[in-house]
RNA sequence: CGGGGUGUAGCGUAGUCCGGUCAUCGCGCCUGGUUUGGGACCAGGAGGUCGCAAGUUCGAAUCUUGCCACCCCGACCA
């Protein structure tokens, strides 16, 4: 048991915060709500980026970069969009500072007031669609499949490292299509990419669904999402893909000449995942000893801790272990050999557990003599001694097994924390006792959803895709319903 | 912005009621030695405008006033 981390079941959010800091992932900065992503945390994000970026390119998208600052007037061109974001925009009003004539420091130069204020992007639809206007004339220019990796700023009231920060890193895809069908297909394709990434790489099962009108992206016709379940029974929206209809095309006058017929507005989509995925990854698998990282995203997949009393012993360990390290690296497995003599082995064991390194190899004089290694897996903390000669294959298999095992563990948790309920009383009871996803009938109105939210803080996370049709009665109003929807308390 | 709370070394803290050898302790850091198969030990050492400013006082971490920052709960949200 770690003496250094709070326990999950005692104070989950304290555990999360401390883990993020102690595992060297991120820390708070001088500006409230903004975080410093530390090298270890950033290297996990880089892995996520690189995998997603490859998937985006494989599906025909190309990267571009649009500016951070957006003229204020752009934001108001799409009515529901501005309504959704206006309350959390940082605004640039001046372009110069000057020395404070009354003393030390600098002040904003009142003479340097901008004619039109600039908004720091909370998302880039407006600036991108104003650009798309110039890029699209003909059906030959479509589809336009653009992605950008960027930072955005949303001035949130309450922030938490990775889960909700005032500035965050993300990717935002923005596409334009000739037909509605094609745009919807794109929206669904990108949702699938997110879901596959979450499940295959993050080892985190997700529900795929659509949002209700209440939870829809400001300016979208339909918002698709992936929803994950965290270990405290709360849901986390892990990615969204929006079908924008012709809303932004109309707002920014993006028309094209089709093969046949008259000039028409294009159909749009946008989709994004953010550094919030880091929060999801941390909460999905980690335990009271620290992070548990899926091998496919772990910056260090295997750490070797030599146990030695002197330089001579270390040397004999090196000779023994070097071929294995080379062999693993040839298999594209990242290996760290930690031969620091400034920390004890016990310290290193605990430290790499805190950092979530999936596999640890310990090797000391005894092993050198017996031609063995001790390998330990982070997910189950099982240790065993194995012959050194077959270690490479065994470790390779072990990494695969860990990846699978933590996925199944998360899936099993989700299964036991997904409950069908048929009355409001039962609903409230499950919500307060075990949390998780709650499948219940709903009459389809925003009023009912709103009332339930006010009562219980639970929201409809999504209406699952391909959900089975089933006659029932709304848990609140008793009105008829044709399918269950997914409720949960959420981050 | 409402309600509650907290600011003392890199981190975590004692002391604040009742002003005066009071700047405490632990972790971490540095030096030396002994250690090293699950977060080592001993000895020595460095490190502080006690959040900021003004005031009361012979004297303020401690009392008064103002300001600032952060945390928790709510409204808002990827």
> Is the pLDDT confidence value at A1 over 50?
no
pLDDT at A102: 65
**pLDDT tens digits for range A114-148:** 999 999 999 999 999 999 999 999 999 999 999 99
For residues A445 and A4, which has the higher predicted lDDT (pLDDT)? A445
Q: Cβ of A471 < 7 Å from strand B?
A: no
**pLDDT tens digits for range A92-112:** 888 888 877 766 567 788 889
pLDDT at A2: 46
> Is the pLDDT confidence value at A483 over 90?
yes
**pLDDT tens digits for range A380-398:** 999 999 999 999 999 999 9
pLDDT at A27: 83
Q: Cβ of A307 < 7 Å from strand B?
A: yes
CATH architecture of A418-488: 2-Layer Sandwich (3.30)
Question: In terms of residues, how long is chain A?
Answer: 491
- Residue A469 · residue A463 · CB < 8 Å: no
Nearest-10 crossing angle of helices A446-456, A424-433: 40
- State which residue has its Cα closest to the C1' atom of B75: A157
Q: Cβ of A444 < 7 Å from strand B?
A: no
Q: Cβ of A123 < 7 Å from strand B?
A: no
Mean pLDDT for chain A? 93
What are the structural domain ranges in chain A?
12-285, 302-398, 418-488
Q: Cβ of A165 < 7 Å from strand B?
A: yes
Binning pLDDT at 50, 70 and 90, where does residue A239 land? very high
Query: Which bases along strand B come within 7 Å of a protein CB atom?
Result: 1, 35-40, 69-78
- State which residue has its Cα closest to the C1' atom of B11: A22
Q: Cβ of A351 < 7 Å from strand B?
A: yes
> What is the spatial distance, in angstroms and rounded to an integer, between the CA atom of A340 and the C1' atom of B34?
18
> What is the spatial distance, in angstroms and rounded to an integer, between the CA atom of A89 and the C1' atom of B1?
17
Q: Does domain A302-398 have CATH number 3.30.540.10?
A: no
> What is the spatial distance, in angstroms and rounded to an integer, between the CA atom of A28 and the C1' atom of B77?
19
Q: What is the mean pLDDT of residues A328-337?
A: 98
> Is the pLDDT confidence value at A82 over 90?
no
The Cα A20–Cα A24 span in angstroms is 6
- Please give the share of chain A, as a percent, with pLDDT higher than 70: 98
Q: Cβ of A255 < 7 Å from strand B?
A: no
Q: What is the mean pLDDT of residues A357-361?
A: 98
Q: Cβ of A364 < 7 Å from strand B?
A: yes
**pLDDT tens digits for range A166-176:** 889 999 999 99
Write down the CATH superfamily of domain A12-285: Bira Bifunctional Protein; Domain 2 (3.30.930.10)
Range scoring the smallest mean pLDDT among A161-165, A192-196, A219-223, A416-420: A161-165
pLDDT at A278: 94
In whole angstroms, how large is the CA radius of gyration of chain A?
Answer: 26
Q: What is the mean pLDDT of residues A49-77?
A: 96
Measured CA to C1', what is the nucleotide nearest A32? B70
């Amino acid at each position: 048991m770690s003496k250094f981390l709070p326990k999950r079941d005692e104070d989950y959010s304290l555990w999360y915060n401390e883990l993020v800091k102690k595992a060297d992932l991120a820390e708070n900065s001088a500006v409230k709500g903004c975080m410093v992503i530390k090298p270890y945390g950033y290297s996990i994000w880089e892995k996520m980026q690189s995998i997603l970026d490859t998937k985006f390119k494989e599906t025909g998208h190309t990267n571009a970069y649009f500016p951070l600052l957006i003229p204020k007037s752009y934001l108001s061109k799409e009515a529901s969009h501005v309504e959704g974001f206006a309350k959390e925009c940082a605004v640039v009003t001046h372009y110069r500072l000057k020395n404070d004539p009354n003393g030390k420091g600098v002040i904003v130069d009142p003479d340097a007031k901008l004619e039109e204020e600039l908004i720091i992007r909370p998302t880039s639809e407006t600036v991108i669609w104003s650009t798309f206007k110039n890029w699209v004339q003909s059906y030959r220019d479509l589809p336009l499949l653009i992605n950008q990796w960027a930072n955005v700023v949303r001035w949130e009231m309450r922030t938490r490292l990775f889960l909700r920060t005032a500035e965050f890193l993300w990717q935002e895809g923005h596409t334009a299509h000739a037909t509605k069908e094609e745009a919807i297909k794109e929206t669904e394709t990108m949702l699938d990419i997110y879901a596959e990434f979450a499940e295959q790489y993050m080892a985190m099962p997700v529900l795929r669904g659509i949002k209700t009108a209440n939870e829809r992206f400001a300016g979208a016709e339909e918002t698709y999402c992936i929803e994950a379940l965290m270990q405290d029974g709360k849901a986390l929206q892990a990615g969204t893909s929006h079908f924008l209809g012709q809303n932004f095309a109309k707002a920014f006058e993006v028309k094209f000449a089709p093969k046949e017929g008259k000039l028409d507005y294009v159909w749009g989509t946008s989709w994004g995942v953010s550094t919030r995925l880091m929060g999801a990854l941390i909460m999905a698998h980690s335990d009271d000893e620290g992070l548990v990282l899926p091998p496919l995203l772990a910056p260090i997949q295997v750490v070797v801790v030599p146990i030695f009393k002197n330089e001579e012993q270390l040397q004999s360990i090196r000779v023994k272990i070097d071929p294995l390290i080379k062999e693993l690296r040839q298999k594209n497995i990242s290996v760290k050999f930690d031969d620091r003599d400034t920390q004890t082995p016990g310290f290193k064991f605990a430290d790499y557990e805190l950092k979530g390194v999936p596999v640890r190899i310990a090797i000391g004089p005894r092993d050198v003599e017996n031609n063995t290694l001790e390998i330990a897996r982070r997910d189950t903390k099982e240790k065993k001694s194995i012959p050194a000669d077959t270690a490479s294959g065994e470790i390779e298999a072990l990494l695969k097994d860990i990846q699978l095992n933590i996925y199944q563990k998360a899936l099993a948790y989700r299964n036991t924390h997904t409950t069908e309920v048929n009355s409001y009383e039962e609903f409230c009871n499950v919500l307060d006792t075990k949390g998780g996803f709650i499948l219940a009938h709903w009459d389809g109105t925003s009023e009912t959803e709103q009332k339930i939210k006010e009562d219980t803080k639970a929201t409809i996370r999504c209406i699952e895709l391909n959900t089975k049709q089933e006659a029932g009665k709304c848990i609140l109003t008793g009105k008829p319903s044709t399918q269950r929807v997914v409720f949960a308390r959420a981050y």
